Amino acid sequence: MKKTIVRREYRQADADSLNHLHPILRRVYAARQVGSEKELDRALESLLPYQSLLGMDDAVRLLSEAIAANQKILIVGDFDADGATSTALAIRALRSFGAEHLQYLVPNRFAYGYGLTPELVEAAKQFSPALIVTVDNGIANHAGVQAAKDAGMRVIVTDHHLPAATLPPADAIVNPNQPDDPFPSKNLAGVGVIFYVMLALRRHLVSQGWFEKKHIPEPNMSRLLDLVALGTVADLVQLDQNNRILVHQGLRRIRAGQCIPAIIALLELSDREFGRAVAADLGFSVASRLNAAGRLDDMSLGIECLLCDDSIRVREIARVLDQLNDERKSIEQDMQAQALAVLNKLNDSLNSSLPTGICLFDESWHQGVIGILAARIKDRFHRPVIVFAPGQDGELKGSARSISGLHIRDALAQIDAQYPGLMLKFGGHAMAAGLTIKRDMLDRFAKAFDEVVSARVTDAQLQHSLMSDGELPGEDFSLEVASLLRDAGPWGQAFPEPLFDDTFRVLEQRIIADRHLKLRLGKDDKVIDAVAFFVDTSQWPNYRCQSIRAAYRLDINEYKGRRNIQLIVEYMEGAD
């Protein structure tokens, strides 16, 4: 799909307020609405305080009572990387506080579905917990929370997903997105929420003299920041300043080797050096392998990897996760080929006009991979997409991905209001959501989805635009500037890594590893190496193309001890 390169605008006053920085950084930060040096502070002391999170006092009271009474505590997690890191963080923190009877339970997506369902409560009874703590789920599990209460269990919900009109009947709820919560940042991931709960619990236990009485060293909570960084990046939440602090501090520990063995092992399996890890490495290298466990098997395997401190055992588990990830890739490629064939046929039948909101289903598709497939189709066609796979009892499980400008959960809420009963359940974020429908409702739902999306999305929003930070001056094609940009993050959702654009002469082009295009480009008197990953090999290399306009990231290629500038080309088109 052809893309439009649009250059970011910024206020010169914002750039001028950062005049102590390199000119490129001033421009990049100003284009991301950074208007003062204070907004770039990444010190732990600048984290938002936990005291303003609604429900925190009740959660701390329940947890401290359970620990003091030596009661059984069950952590109920989720089957994605945010849920896995949240579960591991809760277990590690509570262990360090002296809790002795800890268990965790993560629903298998194929057997129980999402979150604390009544069926999962039945499975939880084998542990006889006095207290259940949900992490990265629970805010939409009214029936499950009630079932736990009916069974005599107390329930703390810690979550970050958007709530429905009513809240579940939990004993305590900590979620920055619940009504009337004054916590300034609404972008915490699930792992960020439980980290804040554990911060507050530690402070309370210190005030009670708990660690002295039990002869337990006071835990250093910064040791958990590697997990916070991983879960935050993996869940694609917005990197506002508070999240940037959490991710930056976690990356510092990872680069120093002061992190859990699992992160190092998973980075090494993907040929990444932990000493130079950036946020994108956590997402593409570590989280993808953790997620493979939840998508194809059981996320308990990923959690065990995160909890294990035996480096030999960790590497054994990491290799299994790597194999699952390879299997996931193979399944995804087959599903994507099928989906594209359907879309191309649909495109032809509609005279080159796809629905504004795309719904896809195939009987053979794997429920654990539909989220990735939805993201791939969304990226290719730049339309909101829902991909369905068979569930149980005549149901379809759907995974939705959206484009900028359409809040996908709000769109689903509108469908639910206009067509009651069309969906059995739904939930999610602005950019991603999940839902369940009856199989015989698929056609009606697809029509309703396209109708609602068409009313909410403008033609301009359907244009696939790449936001560029403009041209890079010739003297800034340097290792110094590339290092500055790498260290100026962390970059991620809503705080994107700098992307530049320019026109280059094509001096050389060739395919490497069957699907990547290696280039040598000319700009003024400079010759620059570049690479474009996963190109359409029916179009590239194109030896008739003498010049290209490219949107690119400035990167450093390190090979056999040598460091050279390399452009990572995100998009290119002939400029002849």
DSSP string for residues in 102-117: EEEE---TTTT-SSS-
Q: Compute the C-alpha angle 251/332/402, nearest 5°.
A: 70
**What 8-state DSSP symbol labels residue 283?**
I
Per-residue pLDDT, 46 = 96
Percentage with pLDDT > 70 across the chain: 98
Kind of pairing between the strands at 547-559 and 562-574: antiparallel
Crossing angle of helices 408-418 and 442-456, in 10° steps, is 120
Q: Compute the C-alpha angle 444/448/453, nearest 5°.
A: 150
CA-CA distance, 55 to 179, in Å (whole number)? 11
CATH numbers and ranges of domains, the chain = 52-320 (3.90.1640.30), 354-456 (3.10.310.30), 467-574 (2.40.50.460)
Judge if pTM exceeds 0.85: yes
In 301-450, beta strands by DSSP E: 358-361, 385-390, 395-401, 425-428, 432-438
CA gyration radius, the chain: 24
**pLDDT < 70 regions, the chain:** 1, 109-113, 346-352
CA-CA distance, 352 to 337, in Å (whole number)? 19
Per-residue pLDDT, 427 = 84
Report which of 477, 471, 467 is spatially closest to residue 571, judged by C-alpha positions: 467
Per-residue pLDDT, 111 = 64
Report which of 419, 454, 459, 456 is spatially closest to residue 435, judged by C-alpha positions: 419
CA-CA distance, 391 to 76, in Å (whole number)? 22
Amino acid sitting at position 200: A
Report which of 111, 376, 137 is spatially closest to residue 235, judged by C-alpha positions: 137
**Those residues with Cβ within 8 angstroms of residue 59's Cβ, 6 or more apart along the chain or in another chain:** 156, 158, 172, 174, 197, 200, 201
Per-residue pLDDT, 431 = 86
Q: What is the largest CA-CA distance in the chain?
A: 77
Cis peptide before 176 (omega within 30 of 0): no
Per-residue pLDDT, 511 = 96
In what helix (H) or strand (E) does residue 177 lie, and over which residues does it extend?
none
Crossing angle of helices 311-349 and 370-381, in 10° steps, is 50
The separation between the first and the last C-alpha atoms of the chain, rounded to the nearest angstrom, is 19
Q: Compute the C-alpha angle 215/60/126, nearest 5°.
A: 85
Report which of 287, 290, 292, 295 is spatially closest to residue 305, judged by C-alpha positions: 290
405: left (phi over 0), alpha (psi -120 to 50) or beta: left
CB count within 10 Å of CB 520 equals: 15
In what helix (H) or strand (E) does residue 180 lie, and over which residues does it extend?
none
